[in-house]
A = this chain, B = another copy of it.
Amino acid sequence: MNIRILVTSLMLVGTSAAFAADEPIQPIKPPANINLGMVELGKKLYFDPRLSKSGFISCNSCHNLSMGGTDNIKTSIGHNWQEGPINAPTVLNSSLNVAQFWDGRAADLKAQAGGPIANPGEMAFTHTLAIDVLESIPGYVREFKQIFGKDKIDIDQVTLAIAEFEKTLVTPNSRFDQWLLGKKDALSAEELAGYKLFKDSGCVACHNGPAVGGNSFQKMGVVEPYKASSPAEGRSAVTGKDADRFNFKVPTLRNVEMTYPYFHDGAANTLSEAVDTMGRLQLGKKFTKEENAKVVAFLKTLTGDQPSFTLPVLPPSTDKTPRPQPFAKK
């Protein structure tokens, strides 16, 4: 971009751009510094149910990229139809999270990716068995070698590739971001009023930054205690500190219209209910029906461009590939 065009662009966005710099929410940036080969491999792994014991459950089963990166179920369905203990958080924009899982027990996406594969209540496999499967598939062997330059596949390569794919799952260009970037008519008066309420009521104390959340742990139930329908105790399970009980990672509100139901226990079915509960329990504030509707209208402007890619075709198993065991008793 030459200087004249740059200056013209800045003049065009004018005061809005200066304004946006003061906002507690920043626009989502498209992903940068991406290894495209690793993304293509990670995408296949993300969609491959052969990383589960049953051969039926993939990352995409519970973090469904057709559905806002979640499963839209209160708590997820794991191996043998086990009921999960917690609501599946969206994978969208998860690269912006301070840590992964509701309790932050994984430092980053790579550390997260291995968890569900080996969790007996989720994909119920082991890392060793997953590698055995991948090693038996020439299409994978070649692709791993091309990307990592090694003769053996290992779980670090698997989780690194999945994490690289997940880094691409950001959702820029929401109407709210268009407004932040200077398109003044991107939001309606009601939506803007909702945003003002969101700021003035204190929601932004926790829901801020590009992901509108995801960057801190906070207690669920500050003013009033929260009666969870989940046994999860939050951050204290990681830190061992009693003071961290019921501290959970603040969820991102990006694409929140698509990521129902809400809260770590998935107890809130609607945005309206979630806004009402958050207002009362976290802020000691009872939103009126009209205020609630305005905040909800604002929240719906946070839906960005969903990841768009061709459904991957997985390299087929061979005669040597261990077969899935969906109905094995043990």
A140 to B150: give the CA distance in the assembly, Å.
Answer: 47
State whether B326 touches A272 (Cβ < 8 A).
Answer: no
Given contacts A74-B323, A308-B310, 12 further A-B contacts (CB under 8 A): A56-B73, A56-B77, A65-B311, A67-B316, A80-B81, A81-B326, A83-B327, A257-B316, A260-B317, A270-B319, A306-B313, A310-B311
19 A-B interface contacts by CB (under 8 A): A49-B67, A54-B73, A56-B77, A65-B311, A67-B316, A72-B317, A73-B324, A77-B326, A80-B81, A81-B327, A83-B326, A257-B316, A269-B319, A269-B323, A270-B319, A308-B310, A308-B311, A309-B311, A311-B311
Residues in B neighbouring A310, C-beta threshold 8 A: 308-311
Interface string of A298-314 (1 = CB under 8 A from B): 00000000101111111
Contact of A258 among B258, B270, B306, B316 (CB under 8 A): B316
> Given A54-B77, A56-B73, are A68 and B311 neighbors across the interface (CB < 8 Å)?
no
A contacts with B: majority SS: loop
A64 to B49: give the CA distance in the assembly, Å.
Answer: 10
**Nearest opposing residue in chain B for A55, CB measure:** B73
Question: Number of residues in A with C-beta < 8 Å to the partner?
Answer: 44
Q: Is A261 an interface residue (CB 8 A)?
A: yes
Contact of A314 among B49, B61, B66, B309 (CB under 8 A): B66
